[in-house]
Amino acid sequence: MRSGLPRVAASTAPATLPPPLPGLDPAWSRLVTVAGGADRPGGTSRPARTWHLLDTAGSLEALGVTPVGTLLCVHGNPTWSYLWRSVATRTLDVARAGGPAWRVVAVDQLDMGFSERTADQHRLADRVRDLGALTDELALTGPVVTLGHDWGGVVSLGWAVDHPELVVGVATCNTAVHQPVDAPIPAPLRLALRPGVLGRGTVLTPAFLETTLAIAHPRLERATADAYRAPYRGAARRGGVGGFVADIPVDAAHPSATELDRIAAGVAALEVPALVMWGPRDPVFLERYLDDLVERMPHADVHRFEGAGHLLPDDADVAGTVLDWLGDHLPDGRPHPGAAPRLPSAAAAAPAGGAPAGAGPAAAAPAGAASHAERPISGPAVRDASPSPSPGSDHRPLWAALDELRDSDDPALVEMAAAGGPRTISWRLLARRIHEVAAGLQDVGVRPGDRVSLLVTPGADLTAALYACVRIGAVVVVADAGLGLRGLTRAVRGARPDWIVGARPGLAAARALGWPGRRIATVALPAPARLALRVEHSLAEVARLGARRLAAGAELPAAPAAGEPAAVLFTSGSTGPAKGVVYTHGQLAAVRDVLAAQYGVGVGTGLVAGFAPFALLGPALGARSVAPDMDVTAPRTLTARAVADAVTAADATVVFLSPAALANVVRTASALTAADRAALGRVRLFLSAGAPVSASLLTAATELMPNASAHTPYGMTEGLLMTDIDLDGVRAVSGDATEQGICVGTPAAGVRVRIAPLDGAGRPVGALTTEPGVTGEVVVSAPHVRDHYDRLWRTDRVSRLGVDDPRGHRTGDVGHLDADGRLWIEGRLQHVLTTPEGVVTPVGPEQRIERVDGVGRVGIAGVGPEGTQQVVAVVETVPAARRPGLASTELATAVRAAAGVPLAAVLVVPVLPTDIRHNSKVDRARLSRWASAVLGGGRMVRP
C-alpha cells in the first residue's frame, strides 16, 4: 500500500477500453500487455502489466501510408491519453491530405486512465522504466519524438534520455525537470501534499481532478470534462492520482529526487531539436520551470500561449504547433537543422480559432502556398540604397552620437515635469551619467545578456538607464504603462527580467504582483520603503559606484556585436496580448539611421517626442529631445499649450505625436497664447503615426504649425518606419474614390513592400507581389525590421511564412499598392470579413460612412460564421448619442447608401472602444463580439 494514502488506494483492477467519448476514435484504443521481467534495481521482478494506449498505426495503415516517425505522447496527473486526441486527429488529417504521416502512440500510465490498477507505488524511475518496457513490447523503432505534459513531461524526457538511438526530437508542455533548493514547491502542491489532505483530496474525493479541470482556459465543455473524469469514477480508480502527487520530489531526501536529477542532467545533454510550449496561467508549473528548461536546452524553440494555463493541449493549439514544428525541423522524420519555415502542412486541418494569437488567417493557409521561387523585385514599391548597414556587419553603435557629443555643453534633454520648471541636461552631463551608470551596473552584478526591465517614464533617468544597459550588453525590456496594469504584468512576467529599474509606482506594482527581477529605484527611498519594495540600490547609488570604478581606472567593455540582442520592445496589445519584439544592436542602429535619412533629424535638431520610442531614440540621433508634459498612459491628455511649452523649452523644430494626442491638441488650440503660436510657427516637420490619420486632422495640425511639413509615417513595433506620406500626398489621393483604405505613402529608404494576395476565405496565400490593386497582407523587408518575437516561436514563424528575405515580416495589416507604388492600408487580417458576396476589408466602408453628416468615427463589425458573415456599422454620432441603440431611420439610410457594401444593421454608440496604448485604433474585435450579442437579443449596453 502507498505510504500516506488511504487503504482504498491499494485497489487493483484490470485494464479496459474506454467508452465512446467525444473526439476519441475507438479504432485508436489498444490494450497491450507487457510481460514481466527482472529490470528493477537489485534484480527484483517486474510483474506483467496491461496498458491502455491510443495508437493511430491502424488508421494510417487503412490510409495506405507509411509513417515517417512516431510521436510518443505521455500525459501527466490527473489526465490520461485523452489529452492527446487533437494531436492524433490532426496528424491523421495531414496524412489524408498527403502530408508527412506521423504515428501517434499516447499511453495511459499504469494506475492512470484505463490502464491496469496495480496497487503499487510507482516512483519516477519505475515510470520511466515501465514506459521503456512498453515501447520494447511495441517494438517501437525510430525516429521518435516525445511529447509530454505535466509529470508526463518528466517521464517522456527520461525515456528520451534513455533511448538516444531512437529519439530525433523532444517536445513538452508545462513540465519541470528540476526543483530549485532555494524555492518552495508551488502552493497548490504544498497543500495537496499535506498529510491531512493528500489522501482525501486526491483519492477519497475527486477534488484534485476537479481542480485541474476547473483551471482550463477557456472553460472545458461539459462533455470534455466528463471524458477526463471517465477513468477516475470512484475512489478505487483514483489511487494513481494520489500516488503521482506523493511521488513529487519535494527535496533531496525524496526517493525520486535522484532520478529527477538524472533526467535533468540528461536533458541538458540532449542535442536533438526541442520544442517547449507553455501556458503562463499555470498555478503549478511556474515560469521559473520554463526558465530552467530553456537554460538546459538553449537551442529549444519556445512558444508561450498567452491566456492559456495548465491544461495546455485543451487551452491552446498545441497540436497545430507541434505539427508546424515537425514540418520545419523533421519534415521526413529526420533532423533538418537549417530547414526554413514554410506554410504549415497542418494548417488546412486547423479548427476555427486554432491559429496562434495575432497570427491571423495566414496560419490557416494551405500547404505549399509559399513554395514559389521569387526573384528580387524592383520597381516603385522598393527604395534602394539603405543608409544603414545590415545587422551583423560593422555598425555605428546606438550611442555613438553621445560619445561624439560628450564634451558639448549644449542641451541634450529637457524635462518638462521637473519641479521648478523645465530642467535641461547637457550632452556632457548625459554622457557622463550614462558611463557612470553603466559602470555601476557592472559593479552591482548586471552582466551581458541580463534582461533589465525599465519601468520609468521618459526623461533623464530612463535615457541614462537605457543607454547604460545597451552599452554593457544588457538587454532592455520596454513595456510602457499604456498597456494597463494587467497588460504590463503579462509583459514583464513574460520577459522574465533579471533586474527592474523603476520609479516608486512601478516598483510597488512589481512587489504587489510578484514581477521577477532584482530592484533598482530611480530615487532614494526611506529604509522601510526599500525593505518593503525589495529595493537593493538607487540609481544614484549605482552611478556613484560607477564613478568610483571609472576613477580607479576601470573601463567599460567592448561594444556588443551587431547581432547581439539589445532590447525587447512590447507591442501595443491592440490586436491581442502584447508581444515582446527582440531587436539586435545592429537593428536598433538601423532604426536610428533610417529616421535620420528620411527626416533629416540629427545633431542640432530639437525634437518634441510625444511617442516613447522617439523620445528614446532622440539621443541616438544627436537630437535635443523633450517629452511634453502629459500622462503617458493616456495620449488624449496632451494639450496644445503643453506642446507649445515643450517646443519653446527645446527650441524644437520637429514634433512627433500620436493621432489621439494630436486630436486633443487640436481641440485645445483655443487656449494658445500669441507666444505659443509663435513657438509652434518655428516647427518645420510634424509627424503623427500609430493609427490612421485623416487629412482633416493633419490640416488642422498644420494650422497650428503653419510652417511645418506634415507627415504620417506607417510602421509598427516590429519596424518603426516602413512608409511615409506628407499632407500634400494625402490631399492628392483623398478624392480618389477608386481606392480602398488609407494611403500611407511610399517605402522609406531600404524598405521593400510586397503583398500576399487574399483568397476567397480571407487568407493570404498567394505569391508575394507588387502588382497594383491586389489586396492582401502587407509584407515588409528592411534592415531595421525586428529580429524575432520573444518566446513566441509559432507567432514568429507565421510572421515569416513564405517570405524569402531574412529581414522580412508579415505585418498582419491588409492593403494594396497602387500604380505609383504607394501603399494603402485597408485594415487588419483578423478584421477581414468573409461575406456571401466576398471578402470585405473594413477601412474603405468606414471612411465612406465617416463622410455622412452627423457621423464621427465608425467601426465595421462582422456578425455570424466565416463565409456567411453579415456586415454591421457601429457609429459615433455628432453630437454623441446618449446610449447605444439602433440608428434612426434617416441616419441608417444615409449610412447604407454611403457604405458601398450591404449592411445588416447600423448601430450607434456614445463612444467606440479603442486600443489601450494609442487610444486611436477602433477595437473591431470587441465591436464584433458586442454587435453579435446585441443583435442576438442581448442587452443594449455600451461595447
**pLDDT tens per residue, range 303-342:** 999 999 999 999 999 999 999 999 999 998 887 655 544 3
Helix H, strand E, coil C: the string for 483-521 is HHHHHHHHHHHHHCCCEEEECHHHHHHHHHHCCCCEEEE
Whether 280 is in a domain gets the answer yes
Whether 811 is in a domain gets the answer yes
The pLDDT score that the predictor gives to residue 386 is 36
The pLDDT score that the predictor gives to residue 491 is 84
Percent of the chain with pLDDT over 70: 89
Cis? peptide before 879, omega within 30° of 0: yes
Cis? peptide before 218, omega within 30° of 0: yes
User: 43 pLDDT exceeds 70?
Assistant: no
827 and 840 part of one domain: no
User: 378 pLDDT exceeds 90?
Assistant: no
- Give the pLDDT mean for 842-868: 92
Q: Closest by alpha carbon to 530, among 546, 508, 555, 559?
A: 508
Query: Which residue among 787, 816, 831 closes a domain?
Result: 831
The pLDDT score that the predictor gives to residue 564 is 97
**Residue 856: phi, psi to the nearest 5?**
-95, -105
Whether 169 is in a domain gets the answer yes
Whether 453 is in a domain gets the answer yes
160 and 97 part of one domain: yes
Whether 596 is in a domain gets the answer no
188 and 74 part of one domain: yes
Per-residue CA distances from 681 to 378, 614, 648, 665, 670 (Å): 40, 22, 11, 15, 16
User: 361 pLDDT exceeds 60?
Assistant: no
The C-alpha cell at 934 is: 446585441
User: 364 pLDDT exceeds 70?
Assistant: no
* Mean of all residue pLDDT scores within the chain: 88
| C-alpha span between 271 and 269 (Å, rounded) | 6
826 and 842 part of one domain: no
User: In this structure, are residues 48 and 33 in contact, taking their beta carbons and an 8 Å threshold?
Assistant: yes
The pLDDT score that the predictor gives to residue 371 is 29
Q: Closest by alpha carbon to 689, among 855, 918, 487, 425?
A: 918
pLDDT band at residue 636, thresholds of 50, 70 and 90? Answer: confident
CATH number at residue 861: 3.30.300.30
Q: Closest by alpha carbon to 441, among 406, 478, 409, 467?
A: 467
The C-alpha cell at 111 is: 494506475
CATH number at residue 203: 3.40.50.1820
Chain centre distance of CA 484: 16
Per-residue CA distances from 357 to 363, 410, 789, 825 (Å): 10, 47, 13, 21
Chain centre distance of CA 643: 34
User: In this structure, are residues 134 and 147 in contact, taking their beta carbons and an 8 Å threshold?
Assistant: no
Paired with 747 in beta bridges are 723
User: Which residues, at least 6 apart from 752, have a Cβ–Cβ distance to it below 8 Å?
Assistant: 377, 381, 382, 383, 780, 781, 782, 805
**Tens of pLDDT, residues 644-690:** 999 999 999 999 998 888 989 999 999 999 999 999 999 999 999 87
Helix H, strand E, coil C: the string for 536-585 is EEEHHHHHHHHHHHHHCCCCCCCCCCCCCEEEEEECCCCCCCCCEEEEEH
The pLDDT score that the predictor gives to residue 6 is 64
pLDDT band at residue 347, thresholds of 50, 70 and 90? Answer: very low
Tally of CB atoms within 10 A around 735: 8
- Burial code (b: 16+ CB inside 10 Å, e: under 16) for 49-60 equals bbbbbbbbeebb
**Tens of pLDDT, residues 912-935:** 987 644 445 788 888 999 989 888
Domain that holds residue 737: 721-831
| C-alpha span between 764 and 662 (Å, rounded) | 34
User: 356 pLDDT exceeds 80?
Assistant: no
Tally of CB atoms within 10 A around 83: 26
Whether 114 is in a domain gets the answer yes
Whether 397 is in a domain gets the answer yes
User: 842 pLDDT exceeds 60?
Assistant: yes
pLDDT band at residue 91, thresholds of 50, 70 and 90? Answer: very high
| C-alpha span between 565 and 283 (Å, rounded) | 30
| pTM to 2 decimal places | 0.88
Chain centre distance of CA 692: 23
Burial of 929 (0-12, 13-18, 19+ CB in 10 A): middle
The pLDDT score that the predictor gives to residue 574 is 64
The C-alpha cell at 749 is: 529608404
The edge-to-edge listing of strands for the beta sheet with 144-149 is: 29-34, 49-55, 102-107, 69-74, 144-149, 167-173, 274-278, 301-304
**Tens of pLDDT, residues 424-475:** 999 999 999 999 999 999 999 999 999 999 988 888 999 999 999 999 999 9
481 and 573 part of one domain: yes
The pLDDT score that the predictor gives to residue 188 is 76
User: In this structure, are residues 676 and 657 in contact, taking their beta carbons and an 8 Å threshold?
Assistant: no
User: 392 pLDDT exceeds 80?
Assistant: no
| C-alpha span between 376 and 244 (Å, rounded) | 57
Helix or strand run (H / E) with residue 38: none
The C-alpha cell at 131 is: 514506459
- The alpha helices in 64-150, defined as continuous H runs, are 85-96, 124-137
User: 343 pLDDT exceeds 80?
Assistant: no
813 and 866 part of one domain: no
Chain centre distance of CA 73: 27
**Which string of DSSP letters, residue by residue, matches 580-646?**
EEEEEHHHHHHHHHHHHHHH---TT-EEEE-SHHHHHHHHHHT-EEEE-SS-TT-GGG--HHHHHHH
CATH number at residue 465: 3.40.50.980
| C-alpha span between 777 and 839 (Å, rounded) | 13
CATH number at residue 794: 2.30.38.10
Angle at 398 between CA 397 and CA 399, to 5 degrees: 90
Burial of 719 (0-12, 13-18, 19+ CB in 10 A): buried
User: In this structure, are residues 522 and 533 in contact, taking their beta carbons and an 8 Å threshold?
Assistant: no
The C-alpha cell at 57 is: 498505426
In one-letter notation, the amino acid at residue 257 is A
- Lookup result for grid cell 473526439: 23
749 and 880 part of one domain: no
The pLDDT score that the predictor gives to residue 9 is 61
The pLDDT score that the predictor gives to residue 352 is 30
User: 215 pLDDT exceeds 90?
Assistant: yes
- Burial code (b: 16+ CB inside 10 Å, e: under 16) for 893-910 equals ebbbebbebebbbbbbbe
- Burial code (b: 16+ CB inside 10 Å, e: under 16) for 791-817 equals bbbbbbbbbbbbbbbebbbbbbbbbbb
The edge-to-edge listing of strands for the beta sheet with 776-781 is: 714-716, 719-724, 742-747, 823-828, 808-817, 776-781, 752-757
Query: DSSP state, 917?
Result: T
502 and 582 part of one domain: yes
Positive or negative, the CA dihedral 20, 23, 26, 28 is negative
Paired with 382 in beta bridges are 752
296 and 157 part of one domain: yes
Query: Which residue among 802, 831, 860 closes a domain?
Result: 831
- Give the pLDDT mean for 748-757: 96
Whether 430 is in a domain gets the answer yes
Helix or strand run (H / E) with residue 931: helix 924-935
| C-alpha span between 433 and 421 (Å, rounded) | 21
Chain centre distance of CA 281: 14
- Give the pLDDT mean for 169-174: 98
- Lookup result for grid cell 513574460: 494
CB-side neighbour CA atoms (13 Å) of 652: 31
| C-alpha span between 739 and 741 (Å, rounded) | 7
Q: For helices 257-269 and 287-296, what crossing angle results, to 10°?
A: 50
| C-alpha span between 32 and 109 (Å, rounded) | 12
Query: Which residue among 831, 855, 872 closes a domain?
Result: 831
User: In this structure, are residues 885 and 905 in contact, taking their beta carbons and an 8 Å threshold?
Assistant: no
481 and 416 part of one domain: yes
291 and 395 part of one domain: no
| C-alpha span between 377 and 358 (Å, rounded) | 28
User: Which residues, at least 6 apart from 395, have a Cβ–Cβ distance to it below 8 Å?
Assistant: 388, 389, 562, 585, 586, 589, 590
CB-side neighbour CA atoms (13 Å) of 309: 14
- CA-only gyration radius of the chain, Å: 30
Per-residue CA distances from 122 to 53, 116, 257 (Å): 18, 13, 14
110 and 204 part of one domain: yes
How many structural domains are present in the chain? 4
